[in-house]
Structure 1
Amino acid sequence: MIWIWLTLAACAAIIIALIQYNYLFSRARDKRKPWFAVLRAITVFSILVLFISPKFESTSYQTLKPQLVVMVDNSISIEQLGMSDALNTDVLNIKNDSELNKKFEVLFYNFDASVTPSDSLSFNGKSTDISKAISEPQELYRDRNKSIVLLTDGNQTVGKSYQYEKLDRKTHLYPIVYGDTTNYPDLKINQLNVNRFSYLKNEYPVEVFLSYSGTDDVSTTFKIEEGNTTLHQESVRFNSAQKSAVLNFNLTSNSVGLHKMVAQVETLPQEKNTSNNKRDFAVEVIDQQSKILLLTTTIHPDIAAIKNAIESNQQRKLTIKNINDPVDINEFNMVILYGYNSAFAKANSTIKTLNKNTWIVLGTKPDISFLNRNNEAFQIENYPQFDDVQPIVNEAYPNFNLESFNFDGYPPVQSPFGQITASTTLQPLMFKQIGNVKTQQPLWFTYDLGTTRHAVFAGSGLWRWRTQNYLDSKDFRNFDELINSQIQYLSSNKKRDRLSIDYKTFYYENDRILISAQYLNDNYEFKDDGILNIQLTNADTKEHIIRPLVISNYNYLVDLSGLPAGSYEFLITASNEKLTRSGNFNILEFDIENQFVNANYQGLQTIATDNNLFFPRQIQELKEVLLKDSLMQDVERQEVSYQSLIDWKLLMGIILTLLAIEWFLRKYNGLI
């Protein structure tokens, strides 16, 4: 096909040259013209060749060896089961086996909570995700025939269950099990559920899941202690038929502060692993509950949504009153005004006198004229129409962090048509989106007025968002946490600081430990060029650590994950300014990798190809299976490539040279 195009290009070039130099239509003959016509024909042909860009096809064949992907468990449990030496020996045997390396492309990876290229084995991974060790090689080498050799104890602590991982048609899996496969009697605290917070003199529930692996009838004692004080104790019986128990009881909050406790079940004489018989936990006791008043003139689903969201936090209680009911507003930390209209005149006057913080939810039939007359911060154009609007979260909102809240695709709410004009600084939590048009008009905003704080939701339909939240995630967390962040902000009149910090009072060892700080300039705007450092001190060992905080979505963050259990004090400083913030937290012991006494060979058996399960020092047996595996054969791959027949840079040079020669000759012969 390419030769046809080149022939046509040559004919076209000759015809163009003959026409341009009058060889087709003129009888006059000039002895110089043939040379010019030849030059012009070559030039035109070269230009046409440049556009045609002729290529030729090249076919090559490549032989691909099958891949042997060796995934090595690098978690603490291998060391604790006493199998690190055996596993290291087997890895070296695979690496040094010349027959395997000749037959296969051998690749080594380590895994714990994540998968990394193998360098060396440290056995310090604090959690194990075997499902990733199975799925990631399939994703990474999806077009290659491969066998995954999985060296592990089969005990998974994070991620989805590996027993439900699917193997594609190009993958076989051969596990090698490390650890004692003998079943020993073992008592274990599987899970302990308790709230992080409680109120002073209140009872809080505790739920404990116990399990027993054994066949004999046993009786044991479960108890919870704080220091030398026993807070709860009860007897538990197990047998071959009753291998689990769920304990439910209440403890009482007797004093304010952080209470560190230990739940433990008495060990059996034959138990090998006793570390899983106890669990540290903590509860922070708070001495005050926020009391919130909601005044309304109507009944609406929004009110139920607000109440359920607020009371999902046990630190808060919402009281709902009709605007005509007698109530002492001074008893409450803040007031929510739902369906704002002239009926709120008396309550509005009392709220201003008492300097209470408020949250106005306009509702379905707000009195915009009354609203405009009774606030100094903003005005809304008074139109009878309403818009269906969707929320756009303002990630730059300064008063609390909105980056974790997602309201994309949420159903619209109704909001007054008129635009909002401000006479003070408004801080929007959300803007309006009308159809596909994103606006800068606030839908939900806050503002400060003197010593008080206020929020306004300019519409109705919050119940739709809470319902959508449940449809999306089977819980109400996204909506409830946003409402509670708003309430937390409005429940306090504390002066805003230029440097503020956010952290928890205690963490578990396997938690991700994040401390965030917000750093503002003199105008209380986010300062993105700050240098913040944290100085951390272990209260027990007095060891000091200094780390920088990095910017992440209008916050400064430091990740302290991996610290050992203990009590810590910290100081965050802003360089070049005398701004500091201090705090302290506790890390409670919880080594999830130390909860196993033997290997889970049954789980690995279910995913092994053709039930081929291997044990330590059976590399020779594994090699025999791999060499006979029909999938693990060489594959010949055809590769087709296309290469250009011309060098376009050289051809461009030739074209320019031909044009220059033709111009010079024409000039020399007086034809220009």
Structure 2
Amino acid sequence: MPTQTLLYIILAGILALILALFQYKYKVKSMSKLYMLFAFLRFISIFLILLLLINPKFEQLKLTEEKPKLLVAIDNSSSTTQLEQDKNAKQVLQTIQSHTALNTKFDIEYFKFGKTLNALDTLTFTDKQTDVAAALDGLKSIYKNTIAPTILVTDGNQTLGSDYAYTSYNQPVYPIILGDTTTYIDLSITQLNVNKYAYLKNKFPVETVLVYNGKAPVNTTFSITSGTQTIFSKNITFSATHNSEILQFTLPASHVGVTTYKAILQPLESEKNKVNNVKHFAVEVIDEKMNIAIVSSFYHPDLGTLKKSIESNEQRAVSILNPNEVNPKLNDFNLLILYQPDNQFKSIFEAIKADNKNAFIISGAQTDWFFLNDQSDYYEHDITSQTEMYQGVFNSNYTTFIVDNLDFNSFPPLQSAFGELSFYGPHEILLYKKIGNITTNQPLLATFETQGRREAVLLGENIWQWRAQSYLNKKSFNTFDNFISKVVQYLSSTKRKTRLVVDFESFYDGTNNVIIRAQFFNKNYEFDGREPLKIKLVNRETKAVTELPFVLKNNNYQVDLSQLPAAEYNFTVSATNENISQSGSFTILEYNVEQQFLNANSGKLNQLAQKTEGASYFIADYKSLLKDLLSNQKYVTIQKSSKTTQGLIDWKYMLGIIVFCLSLEWFLRKYNGLT
């Protein structure tokens, strides 16, 4: 407490004593015990009031003990069951949970992981994929400023994501290796590459990688079957020196639709794991290819980006042309993408109006809006000589077609002409403009339909940066390519809008989630989220019927069918209160990547432990890890001190004492007949 404050308190005591004595000593000739009590109560009251006015500050020192964190992350993927290690994993968990000394020393938190990291509730060992790197990244983001050694209970077999052996995880990792490192004789199909689509009466290429793990020479047969028919077969010999083979061949596309195939590498009698000798795949055969033209009078990175994104769907072919090359070939294209139009596009716009063709207009810093305003009867843009950078904000209420939010807030802004775009009719905004931190009601990407013709307008160039950012966000171009594909699919279709729209794939590969989406519209074609939707599925082989409700999520309905067994299904999506339904079919391929492993990947786990300054342990010796953690002097309880300053005015009981003293003085004076 400062010396100045202490002097104020002494002066306050002297002043309070003087005032109390003046009240009761000065006016009376002698001090009785009663008057001495009155003087004392008055002194206390005045002194405490003066103390509150001075409000001295008191410092409090609080000591707390903080135990180090211990993170336990357990592999919940089906490979744990495949290697018969599920009981061992549960035993490790029970031992740690019941270990008194360990729980006394550490603050233990539990997680499970497969494709994603989650807090541990129960272990099911049903996850279809494993991403160890993603699990470590998740723990790193949560405990980046905390001492948190990590026990990783896993077989080390990863099916997707980056290599976890090169992680930047900043905590010591102690892997408990589930499984053994014994080498078994094994034949496997490690990879099979095939296009998703093929064209009728053509042949499509197939590439497969076959691997042998063993020393003695063996003979086997690789074959491809479809139904009961074998359509490709080849005899193969492996040895210790010739332990892999790449086969490249073609298969005929004989009929339209989805055809499923089975690749079989004839197993050896002594093989322990025969699941990895079979791979299922499917190809959708179509009878025509959609042709799309990207028209531009100059070169720009956006042109190549659009071509790559659109052609990621092999049903589509893209040609990049200048305006003078389009007219002779106009009827060859299902859709025209006009990139930053100017006067050179005049004949193209005339042909679009004459043939009532759909178009996708992309504007930017070099767009001639004088020309474009003159050509369009449906919208008009302000004419300025300035440009602006606009970021996209996703409109979750967009209902023209089903599209996902790609986290557009993380995407770089696009460059476009400054000003507002005014529409003269009904339209829907997919992306709003955002300038700095302000989201406007102006469109960055909008779609509309008039007189049977569809058009989209994107007000910004440098969309190639969006594709690059999408890759940084998702480690894949697929999400951005799917977004562009949805826009192109809408623009290239001439089907009238229906009140019930169902979005699904022809087949699912068995490793990713099987999600079917739907949208329901009222009679004014406005999205209606009040209508209950349900799906009825029929397994073509077993005739088993499954009915499930859809769940409303943002601007669409969704149902997760990931738990369905691999088979071919017919389905019908119907509205409960109205006689509206849509039907279709899809195939779930039989493939579980987690069942392809024979043993634990101890090499990668040892490398991870060494890199993070931890240590690895086999499951048979996991109790040694617990002893080592208890004896490790790096992990000790830390005593932390915190100093707080509190003013006397915050002590509420001071007011109670003042009120009590004044009240008692008043009562005693009245009781003794004093005024």
The two structures have a TM-score, normalised by structure 2, of: 0.80
Distance 1:265-1:440 versus aligned 2 partners, 3 A rule: same
Match status 1:651 vs 2:662: no
Distance 1:35-1:132 versus aligned 2 partners, 3 A rule: same
Report deviation, 1:309.
3.4
Looking at structure 1, the residues matched to 348 and 169 of structure 2 have their Cα atoms a distance apart, in angstroms, of 66
Residue identity opposite 1:403 in structure 2:
D
Match status 1:317 vs 2:321: no
Contact 1:509 1:562 in 2 (8 A): no
Residue identity opposite 2:61 in structure 1:
E
Residue pairs, 1:242-261, within 5 angstroms: 242-261=242-261
Report deviation, 1:487.
1.5
Distance 1:637-1:477 versus aligned 2 partners, 3 A rule: closer
Cα deviation code 1:32-86 (max 9, x no counterpart): 998997476245235347x546454354768x6x888766655544444455566
Greater mean alpha carbon deviation, residues 335-344 or residues 279-288: 335-344
Contact 2:195 2:204 in 1 (8 A): yes
Looking at structure 2, the residues matched to 462 and 143 of structure 1 have their Cα atoms a distance apart, in angstroms, of 40
Contact 2:189 2:211 in 1 (8 A): yes
Distance 1:35-1:510 versus aligned 2 partners, 3 A rule: same
Residue pairs, 1:147-186, within 5 angstroms: 148=151, 152-164=154-166, 171=172, 173=174, 175=176, 177-179=178-180, 181-186=181-186
Match status 1:44 vs 2:45: no
Question: Residue 57 of structure 1 aligns with which residue?
Answer: 61
Contact 1:146 1:632 in 2 (8 A): no
Looking at structure 2, the residues matched to 43 and 162 of structure 1 have their Cα atoms a distance apart, in angstroms, of 66
Q: Percent identical across equivalent pairs? A: 35
Residue pairs, 1:28-177, within 5 angstroms: 38=43, 41-42=46-47, 44-45=49-50, 47-48=52-53, 51-52=55-56, 54=58, 56-59=60-63, 75-82=77-84, 112-113=114-115, 123-129=125-131, 148=151, 152-164=154-166, 171=172, 173=174, 175=176, 177=178
Greater mean alpha carbon deviation, residues 580-589 or residues 81-90: 81-90
Distance 1:14-1:243 versus aligned 2 partners, 3 A rule: farther
Residue pairs, 1:297-336, within 5 angstroms: 297=297, 301-325=301-325, 326-336=327-337
SS in 2 for 1:327: helix
Question: Residue 32 of structure 2 aligns with which residue?
Answer: none
Distance 1:485-1:37 versus aligned 2 partners, 3 A rule: same
Contact 1:574 1:580 in 2 (8 A): yes
Greater mean alpha carbon deviation, residues 544-553 or residues 485-494: 544-553
Residue pairs, 1:513-528, within 5 angstroms: 513-528=514-529
Contact 1:395 1:402 in 2 (8 A): no
Distance 1:281-1:17 versus aligned 2 partners, 3 A rule: farther
Residue identity opposite 1:291 in structure 2:
N
Looking at structure 2, the residues matched to 70 and 465 of structure 1 have their Cα atoms a distance apart, in angstroms, of 37
Cα deviation code 1:571-600 (max 9, x no counterpart): 333343333333322211112232223444
SS in 2 for 1:562: coil
Greater mean alpha carbon deviation, residues 127-136 or residues 578-587: 127-136
Residue pairs, 1:193-204, within 5 angstroms: 193-204=193-204
Looking at structure 2, the residues matched to 414 and 189 of structure 1 have their Cα atoms a distance apart, in angstroms, of 48
Distance 1:485-1:54 versus aligned 2 partners, 3 A rule: same
Report deviation, 1:353.
2.8
Distance 1:470-1:569 versus aligned 2 partners, 3 A rule: closer
Match status 1:280 vs 2:258: no
Question: Residue 534 of structure 2 aligns with which residue?
Answer: 533
Looking at structure 2, the residues matched to 296 and 98 of structure 1 have their Cα atoms a distance apart, in angstroms, of 72
SS in 2 for 1:270: coil
Question: Residue 26 of structure 1 aligns with which residue?
Answer: none
SS in 2 for 1:382: coil
Contact 1:204 1:250 in 2 (8 A): yes
Report deviation, 1:498.
2.9
Residue pairs, 1:333-344, within 5 angstroms: 333-344=334-345
Structure 1 unmatched ranges of 5 or more: 24-28, 668-672
Looking at structure 1, the residues matched to 471 and 80 of structure 2 have their Cα atoms a distance apart, in angstroms, of 40
Residue pairs, 1:183-582, within 5 angstroms: 183-297=183-297, 301-325=301-325, 326-362=327-363, 366-383=367-384, 385-396=385-396, 397-408=398-409, 413-434=414-435, 438-458=439-459, 460-462=461-463, 465=466, 477=478, 479-582=480-583
Residue identity opposite 1:272 in structure 2:
K
Looking at structure 1, the residues matched to 40 and 372 of structure 2 have their Cα atoms a distance apart, in angstroms, of 92
Report deviation, 1:350.
3.2
SS in 1 for 2:489: helix
Distance 1:371-1:584 versus aligned 2 partners, 3 A rule: same
Contact 1:390 1:410 in 2 (8 A): no
Contact 1:47 1:655 in 2 (8 A): no
Contact 2:178 2:600 in 1 (8 A): yes
Aligned length: 655
Greater mean alpha carbon deviation, residues 603-612 or residues 411-420: 603-612
